Amino acid sequence: MTELGPDSPILQPLEAGAIATRNRVWMAPLTRNRSEPDGTPNDLNVEYYRQRAGAGLIVSEGTQPSAVGKGYLNTPGIHTDEQQAGWARIADAVHGGGGRIVVQLMHAGRVSHPDNTGEESVAPSAIAPGIDMVTASGEQPIPTPRALTAEELPGVVAEFVDASRRAIAAGLDGVEIHAANGYLLHQFLADGANTRTDAYGGSPANRARLVVEVTRAVADAIGAGHVGIRISPGSTASGIAEDDTTGAYEALLDGIDGLGLAYLHVLVSPDDPFLGKIRSAWSGPLVLNTGFEKPTTREDAVTLVADGVADAVTVGRPFIANPDLVTRWTHDTELNTPDESTFYGGGAEGYTDYPTLEG
How many C-beta neighbours within 10 Å does residue 338 have?
Answer: 18
Q: Rounded to an integer, what distance in angstroms lies between the CA atom of residue 336 and that of residue 244?
A: 40
Dihedral, CA of residue 335, residue 336, residue 341 and residue 347, to nearest 10: -130
The three-class DSSP label of residue 102 is strand
pLDDT tens digits, residue range 188-204?
Answer: 999 999 999 999 999 99
The predicted pLDDT at position 358 comes to 87
The predicted pLDDT at position 293 comes to 81
Do 15 and 174 touch, CB atoms closer than 8 A?
no
Confidence of residue 229 (pLDDT cuts 50, 70, 90): very high
Percent share of the chain, pLDDT over 70:
99
Buried b (16+ CB within 10 A) or exposed e, 258-294: ebebbbbbbbbebeeebbeebbeebebbbbbbbbeee
The predicted pLDDT at position 102 comes to 99
Picking from 156, 62, 71, the residue whose alpha carbon sits closest to that of residue 113 is 71
Of 48, 49, 72, 183, the active-site residue reads: 183
Picking from 107, 102, 124, 79, the residue whose alpha carbon sits closest to that of residue 181 is 107
How many C-beta neighbours within 10 Å does residue 115 have?
Answer: 15
Q: What is the mean pLDDT of residues 218-223?
A: 98
Dihedral, CA of residue 73, residue 75, residue 80 and residue 83, to nearest 10: 130
β-bridge pairing 19-21 and 286-289:
unpaired
pLDDT tens digits, residue range 49-78?
Answer: 999 999 999 999 999 999 999 999 999 999
The predicted pLDDT at position 1 comes to 67
Do 43 and 58 touch, CB atoms closer than 8 A?
no
Buried b (16+ CB within 10 A) or exposed e, 73-100: bbbbbbbeeebbebbbbbbebbbeeebb
Looking at every residue in the chain, the average pLDDT score rounds to 97
The predicted pLDDT at position 292 comes to 79
Picking from 314, 235, 243, 310, the residue whose alpha carbon sits closest to that of residue 278 is 310
| Distances, alpha carbon 105 to alpha carbons 64, 108, 302, in Å | 6, 10, 28
pLDDT at 237 over 90: yes
How many C-beta neighbours within 10 Å does residue 328 have?
Answer: 19
pLDDT tens digits, residue range 18-45?
Answer: 999 999 999 999 999 999 999 999 999 9
pTM: 0.98
Q: Rounded to an integer, what distance in angstroms lies between the CA atom of residue 58 and that of residue 55?
A: 6
354 as an active site residue: the answer is no
pLDDT tens digits, residue range 301-313?
Answer: 999 999 999 999 9
Query: Hey, CA dihedral for 2, 3, 5, 10, is it positive or negative?
Result: positive
Picking from 284, 257, 6, 228, the residue whose alpha carbon sits closest to that of residue 101 is 228
Query: Hey, CA dihedral for 229, 230, 234, 239, is it positive or negative?
Result: negative
Q: Rounded to an integer, what distance in angstroms lies between the CA atom of residue 258 and that of residue 252?
A: 11
Which regions of 17-173 does DSSP assign to beta strands (E)? 19-21, 25-27, 58-63, 101-105, 122-123, 132-135, 138-141, 146-147
Q: What is the mean pLDDT of residues 333-339?
A: 97
Distance of CA 166 to the CA centre of its chain: 17
| Distances, alpha carbon 31 to alpha carbons 9, 34, 96, 97, in Å | 29, 9, 23, 22
pLDDT tens digits, residue range 128-176?
Answer: 999 999 998 999 999 999 999 999 999 999 999 999 999 999 999 999 9
DSSP state of 173: S
Q: Rounded to an integer, what distance in angstroms lies between the CA atom of residue 104 and that of residue 121?
A: 20
Picking from 103, 240, 212, the residue whose alpha carbon sits closest to that of residue 153 is 212
Do 328 and 357 touch, CB atoms closer than 8 A?
yes
Picking from 252, 177, 145, the residue whose alpha carbon sits closest to that of residue 209 is 252
Do 68 and 122 touch, CB atoms closer than 8 A?
yes
